[in-house]
């Protein structure tokens, strides 16, 4: 039931996101995208009907917050100088793009890469995988048994 509600929410977020972008509010559409990713992140942690919110919290939520910061700062500094050359640079980049480099690219990429690796047992332990394979074999044997009967 919760999964269905979440998937309905995701459909509504898709509609909202594309409508906002189509109406010219593309930046607002990007923030809606983050909410949509959060919904998929929650659904992706579902294990036998239960969600692992710790896995959602780290690393996914930190990544999404970082992207929200990148969008906000990127847009702020882009508007601050418009079509003019900026008064200062960060690592040689326009401050608007520097926010993207740090908060959209390098930090969240490393965070997600190493963060996911550090949570690998929580995501899928050897026991969970072995249990899954055992149950698949049991079901297959049961099906064959039914067929023979």
Partner 1 sequence: MSDTTRYLILASSFAVLAISFLIGLWARRKVTSPEAFIGGAKIFGPLTVGLATMAAVGSAFAVVGVPGLVFSSGNAILLFMFAAPAFVFGYLVIGKKVRALSEIGTVASLGDLSDLRFNGHRGIKLLLSIMLFLGCAMYLSAQVEACAKLFENLFDWNAVVIAVVIFAILIAYTVLSGEIGGVLTQAFQGLVIVVAGFIFTASFFFVTGGFGPVLEAIAASESGLDPSALTAWGSLPGAYSFAWILLPTLGIMCQPQVLTRITMMRTPRELPKLSLYAVVTNMITGLMVLSIGYCAIYLAATGTVTIDHPDKAVFKVADYLGIVAQMFVYPAVLAAALSTSSLFLSLAGTIVSRDMPGALGITIEPARQVTVSRIAMSVMGMAAIGFAALSGDMVAILGTYGFGTLAAATFPVFVISLLWKGANGRGVMAGMVTALAATLGGVGVELLKRYGLSDFAWPGSVPWYVFVMAASVVVSIAASLLFRGREADRLDRRVALALDL
My answer on whether omega of the bond before 76 falls inside 30° of 0, hence cis, is no
Beta carbon of residue 130, minimum distance to partner 1 (angstroms, whole number): 10
Beta-carbon neighbour count of residue 104 at 10 Å? 19
Give whichever of 53 and 140 is closer to partner 1, judged by the CB atom.
140
Residues constituting the chain = 149
Beta carbon of residue 100, minimum distance to partner 1 (angstroms, whole number): 5
Give whichever of 126 and 147 is closer to partner 1, judged by the CB atom.
126
Beta carbon of residue 149, minimum distance to partner 1 (angstroms, whole number): 17
Give whichever of 96 and 149 is closer to partner 1, judged by the CB atom.
96
| Nearest-angstrom CA–CA distance, 93 and 57 | 31
Beta carbon of residue 54, minimum distance to partner 1 (angstroms, whole number): 13
Beta-carbon neighbour count of residue 63 at 10 Å? 21
Beta carbon of residue 56, minimum distance to partner 1 (angstroms, whole number): 10
Backbone angles phi, psi at 90, to 5 degrees: -120, 120
Give whichever of 46 and 53 is closer to partner 1, judged by the CB atom.
46
Task: Locate all alpha helices (DSSP H) within the chain, ordered by sequence.
Answer: 2-22, 26-44, 53-55, 62-81, 95-99, 107-118, 120-123, 126-148
Give whichever of 49 and 147 is closer to partner 1, judged by the CB atom.
49
């Amino acid at each position: 039931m919760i999964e269905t509600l979440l998937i309905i929410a995701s459909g509504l977020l898709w509609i909202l996101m594309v409508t906002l972008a189509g109406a010219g509010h593309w930046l607002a559409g990007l923030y809606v995208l983050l909410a949509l990713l959060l919904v998929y992140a929650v659904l992706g942690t579902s294990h036998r009907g239960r969600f692992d919110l710790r896995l959602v919290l780290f690393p996914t939520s930190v990544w999404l917050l970082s992207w929200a910061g990148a969008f906000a700062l990127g847009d702020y500094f882009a508007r601050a100088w418009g079509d003019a050359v900026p008064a200062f640079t960060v690592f040689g980049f326009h401050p608007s793009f520097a926010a993207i480099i740090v908060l959209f690219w390098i930090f969240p990429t490393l965070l997600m890469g190493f963060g996911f690796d550090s949570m690998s047992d929580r995501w899928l332990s050897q026991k969970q995988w072995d249990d899954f394979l055992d149950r698949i074999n049991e079901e297959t044997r049961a099906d064959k048994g039914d067929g023979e009967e």
